């Protein structure tokens, strides 16, 4: 928990919740903050497995997963490649599109390599409003909804402070939903879809974690058949990226056509009091504590080492 990303504060909240849950079920569990301690201490102190409650860079992007592979310590969540692909929203889009899975149109700008004309051309390509965000941040950090072309430059500049790759994305107007997945490979199953109704449609960092004005509706109340279509699509995306253990996919449903579009897949979802995976699990009859224990059971390595138990 903790770590060095822009989402450190949320990770500490997630980790505290998970730690308390594991301890309440008799697990010999301890907090470990890689921003403050060397990962090698995990091996020296003989830990059997790691529950990853890190979010963002150096925790959700394959780096800590790779370190744990080298240490031979099984960990929760996706492996090195799935983690590194899923955190990169542009790479995720490329993989989804290659597999015929729907995702909003986009334009990629690279810091230091785009011109004023490139920025000005984006609204023509994608239409307005549109979304600008860093390619590898979570929790809506650095995200701007651009409603007028005059706001493009500032939005791109803000995202460029956080990432070398700036994702400009078509805005899908309609229902915002999220769908968690538990399990691996053929055993992966979607949990209930949650419909998110944020104040003025603004589901930003503040409204995600620090206010109680956002509504989370589960059962989602979507028209008949839509939830099943979204769950099927999300599981396909999860398997396509070779995710394992758990993840959560964010989806927008076009208000007019009712077509769902995949936005991104989070391979280390939040576990705070406002988080959505525990909420969906609870709707499926799985308590927060049971969810943590089930996830801990899935801890694994991409590559089992010679002589490992």
pLDDT of 142-161, one tens digit each? Answer: 999 999 999 999 999 999 99
| Catalytic residue list contains 266 | yes
Distance from C-alpha of 119 to C-alpha of 139, rounded to nearest angstrom: 24
Residue 201 has pLDDT above 70, yes or no: no
Q: Report the C-alpha gap between 138 and 88 in whole angstroms.
A: 10
pLDDT tens for each residue of 278-290: 999 999 999 999 9
- Model confidence, pTM: 0.93
Phi and psi at residue 55, to the nearest 5°: -125, 145
Q: Considering only 94-98, 265-269, 273-277, 283-287, which range has the smallest mean pLDDT?
A: 273-277
Among 75, 203, 209, 238, the active-site one is 209
Q: Which residues, 6 or more positions from 20, have their beta carbon under 8 angstroms from its beta carbon?
A: none
Please report the DSSP string for 118-132 in residue order: HHHHHHHHH-SSEEE
Beta bridge partners of 98: none
CA distance 247 to 66: 18
pLDDT at 306: 64
What residues contact residue 98 under an 8 Å CB cut-off, 6+ apart?
A: none
| Residue 48 among the catalytic residues | no
The helix (run of H) or strand (run of E) holding residue 276 is helix 276-283
Residue 5 pLDDT grade (very low, low, confident, very high; cuts 50, 70, 90): very high
Band of residue 213 on the pLDDT scale cut at 50, 70, 90: confident
Higher local confidence (pLDDT), 137 or 269: 269
Is 9 among the catalytic positions? Answer: no
Q: What integer best gives the mean pLDDT of the chain?
A: 94
Backbone angles phi, psi at 306, to 5 degrees: -55, 130
One of 270, 275, 280, 288 is an active-site residue; which one?
Answer: 270
Smallest CA-to-CA distance from 75 within 85, 64, 90 is with 64
Euclidean distance between the first and final Cα of the chain, in Å? 26
Return the structure tokens found at 158: 């803000």
- Check residue 271 and give its pLDDT: 97
Q: Are strands 130-134 and 246-254 parallel, antiparallel or unpaired?
A: unpaired
Residue 156 CB contacts under 8 Å (≥ 6 apart), including other chains: 109, 114, 119, 132, 166, 168
- Confidence class for position 198, pLDDT limits 50, 70, 90: confident
- Distance separating alpha carbons of residues 63 and 59, to the nearest angstrom: 6
In this prediction, residue 207 carries a pLDDT of 58
Res 298 pLDDT > 60: yes
Query: Exactly one of 11, 14, 84, 139 is catalytic; which is it?
Result: 139
**How far is Cα 279 from Cα 262, in angstroms, rounded to an integer?**
20
The Cβ of residue 112 has, within 10 Å, a number of other Cβ atoms equal to 7
250 is catalytic: yes
32-77 pLDDT, tens digit per residue, is 999 999 999 999 999 999 999 999 999 999 999 999 999 999 999 9
7 catalytically annotated: yes
Given the residues 57, 248, 268, 280, select the one marked as catalytic.
Answer: 248
266, 268, 275, 280: which one is catalytic? 266
Calculate what percentage of the chain has a pLDDT beyond 70: 94
DSSP string for 171-194: PPPEEEEEEEEES-GGG-EE---E
Catalytic (active site) residue 270: yes
CA gap 55, 84 in Å, rounded: 12
Q: What percent of the chain has pLDDT over 90?
A: 88
User: What are the DSSP calls for 68-86, one per residue?
Assistant: HHHHT--BSS--HHHHHHH
Mean local confidence (pLDDT), 287-298? 98
- 210 pLDDT above the threshold of 60: yes
């Amino acid at each position: 928990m903790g770590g060095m990303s822009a989402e450190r504060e949320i990770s500490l909240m997630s980790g505290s919740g998970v730690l308390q849950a594991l301890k309440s079920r008799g697990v010999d569990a301890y907090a470990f903050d890689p921003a403050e301690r060397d990962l090698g201490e995990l091996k020296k102190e003989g830990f059997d497995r790691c529950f990853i409650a890190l979010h963002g860079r150096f925790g959700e992007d394959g780096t800590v997963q790779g370190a744990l592979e080298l240490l031979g310590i099984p960990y929760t969540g996706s492996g090195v490649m799935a983690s590194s692909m899923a955190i990169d929203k542009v790479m995720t889009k490329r993989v989804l599109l290659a597999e015929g899975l729907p995702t909003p149109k986009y334009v990629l700008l690279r810091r230091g390599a785009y011109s004023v004309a490139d920025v000005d051309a984006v609204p023509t390509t994608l239409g307005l409003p549109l979304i600008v965000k860093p390619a590898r941040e979570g929790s809506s950090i650095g995200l701007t909804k651009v409603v007028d072309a005059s706001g493009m430059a500032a939005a791109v500049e803000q995202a460029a402070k956080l990432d070398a790759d700036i994702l400009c994305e078509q805005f899908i107007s309609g229902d915002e939903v999220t769908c968690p997945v538990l399990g691996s490979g053929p055993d992966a199953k979607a949990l209930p879809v949650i419909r998110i109704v944020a104040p003025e449609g603004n589901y930003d960092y503040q409204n995600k974690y620090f206010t109680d004005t956002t509504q989370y509706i589960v059962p989602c109340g979507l028209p008949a058949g839509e939830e099943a279509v979204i769950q099927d699509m999300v599981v396909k995306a999860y398997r396509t990226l070779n995710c394992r253990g758990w993840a959560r996919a964010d989806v927008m449903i076009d208000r007019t056509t009712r077509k769902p579009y995949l936005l991104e897949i989070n391979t280390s979802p939040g576990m705070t009091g406002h988080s959505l995976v525990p909420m969906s699990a609870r709707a499926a009859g799985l308590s927060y504590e049971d969810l943590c224990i089930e996830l801990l059971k899935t801890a694994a390595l991409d590559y089992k080492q010679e002589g490992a138990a």
